[in-house]
Amino acid sequence: MILDKLPLELMREVLLGLNKIDFIQTVKCIRRLYYFAKADNILRRRLQNRVADLELCLDDNTACEECGKLVLHLDLDARFRRENDGVQWIYSSFVFRSKDECKCDSIDGETQIEPDLLNHPSSLYDSHLLEGFENRTNFVINNGSLDEAIVNCGKLFNILTKFVIVRKFELHLDSDQMWEQMSAFFNANSPDMRIQPHATIDSRINLDSFRIFPNGLAGIEITKNFGPILMANPYHEVLRRTPNVSFSGMNLPYTYEDVFGFFKDTKKLSFHSETRITEEQICQIVQNFYEVKQNERILEIQFDEDFLVKDFLTLIPKEAYRLHMTTIMVGPKRKWVTWVEMTDRFGRKWSVMNIPVNDDQEMTENILRIYNMKTFD
């Protein structure tokens, strides 16, 4: 192997440039590299197999009731554990603050990290990260401006991926401007991550920005926090290629054709929103699930009025389904609902169910859910 023939100093630089997974696999393959990595202070830290779940929250839409200043949420929450310890998770958080924002929610016991340390990953590891890996710690990084805070948050994220294997990454984005700046940072400084993140965003977020993740998204949920109109292209490639797509409180242009056209490869599609799908087209959707071989997908469509599931079965043979009754919790009360067990032409069993749900105003909406019963076996 060429790497094994390099001088130690050059070999060290090459190893430091590898992502966490490639680094561990490389040094374990060659005994000389392994012992060299164990003897080197910086490389030895990267040999420690830790995994992490990370959650990035961006929000700039709230003013403090006490001081009137803007309440910014620029937080990176994390939980860490050693790779072979499936139970013991350590929860730590990293909060980035700017000079002019509200600080009324400061909590006792915060550990300060000087922003300059983010330019020295090894020193940061020794002075703070190891503590966060081993003990629950609330870290605070004070910054001169919001722009500086966003860049420093991106730096910390990239540093963490050098020392841990990111198992799960969630994005909660309620600020299009903050995310635009952070995605620009990640575009110039690619995060060392191979997994697919899950994103919860408001309707303003530019979907083009998610191209910084080469493997795409595991799921995306778009909410009405900024308004019910989707600002992005409703037929954007990100929505077509993401396996789990959910809309909440939106006004959407999608029709029956989109369910089996644009979203034909979507494993879970949730329209907790207004669509252009009519009740007559629901009968066609149920018929399609009966006649056309489907993957193990889940479809949810919202109705503002109550409905009977059996009214959507008019286009399939009566011998293909059975009616059932069950109870579910709707708010604080238990309610009886009807559901259908449908066997399609290929012998697969599907559930077609009316699920009442309470929204924020305690009004009851109804969700038609169709799913392959094997999914929940």
Confidence label for 34 from pLDDT (cuts 50, 70 and 90): confident
Q: Which residue has the tokens 């192997």?
A: 1
**Listed range (46-50, 56-60, 165-169) with the worst mean pLDDT:** 46-50
Backbone angles phi, psi at 69, to 5 degrees: -80, 160
For 95-109, how does the pLDDT look when each residue is reduced to its tens digit (9 = 90+)?
998 887 776 666 667
Question: Which of 158, 144, 77, 76 is closest to 115 using CA atoms?
Answer: 144
Q: Global pTM?
A: 0.86
Q: Is 202 exposed, middle or buried (0-12, 13-18, 19+ CB in 10 A)?
A: buried
**Listed range (96-110, 219-233, 238-252) with the worst mean pLDDT:** 96-110
At 100 the pLDDT is 73
At 105 the pLDDT is 66
Reading the block at residue 30, the tokens are 């060659």
Distance CA 250, CA 231 (A): 11
CB atoms within 10 A of CB 145: 11
Report whether pLDDT(250) > 60: yes
For 302-322, how does the pLDDT look when each residue is reduced to its tens digit (9 = 90+)?
987 778 899 999 999 999 999
At 287 the pLDDT is 96
Confidence label for 66 from pLDDT (cuts 50, 70 and 90): confident
367 or 357: which leads in pLDDT? 367
At 6 the pLDDT is 67
For 361-375, how does the pLDDT look when each residue is reduced to its tens digit (9 = 90+)?
455 678 999 999 987
H helix intervals, 106-214: 121-124, 130-134, 146-163, 176-188
Confidence label for 21 from pLDDT (cuts 50, 70 and 90): confident
Mean pLDDT of 69-85: 84
Q: Is the dihedral of CA 114, 120, 121, 125 positive or negative?
A: negative
Let me know: does 239 contact 216? Beta carbons within 8 Å.
Answer: no
- Which residues partner with 202 through β-bridges? 223
Number of C-alpha atoms within 13 angstroms, CB side, residue 34?
Answer: 7
Question: Which of 232, 172, 219, 177 is closest to 200 using CA atoms?
Answer: 172
Confidence label for 337 from pLDDT (cuts 50, 70 and 90): confident
Report whether pLDDT(87) > 90: no
Distance CA 327, CA 167 (A): 36
Distance CA 281, CA 259 (A): 11
- Which residues partner with 220 through β-bridges? 199, 245
Q: What average pLDDT is seen over the chain?
A: 86
At 134 the pLDDT is 87
At 271 the pLDDT is 96
Distance CA 216, CA 276 (A): 28
For 170-211, how does the pLDDT look when each residue is reduced to its tens digit (9 = 90+)?
999 999 999 999 999 999 998 878 899 999 999 889 999 999
Reading the block at residue 326, the tokens are 């069950």
Number of C-alpha atoms within 13 angstroms, CB side, residue 130?
Answer: 12
Q: Mapping DSSP to helix (H, G, I), strand (E, B) and coil, where does residue 258 land?
A: helix
At 48 the pLDDT is 73
Looking only at Cα atoms, what is the longest distance across the chain?
76
Q: How far is CA 332 from CA 328, 329, 357, 358, 362, in A?
A: 10, 7, 11, 10, 11
Report whether pLDDT(298) > 80: yes
Backbone angles phi, psi at 113, to 5 degrees: -120, 125
Q: How many helices (H) and strands (E) does the chain have?
A: 12, 15
DSSP state of 196: P
Give 318-348 as a DSSP string. Answer: GGGEEEEEEEEEETTEEEEEEEEEEE-TTS-
Report whether pLDDT(354) > 70: yes
First-to-last C-alpha distance (Å) of the chain: 48
Most confident range, picked from 34-43, 279-288, 321-330:
279-288
Question: Which of 2, 7, 4, 50 is closest to 27 using CA atoms?
Answer: 4
Domain ranges of the chain: 2-47, 50-195
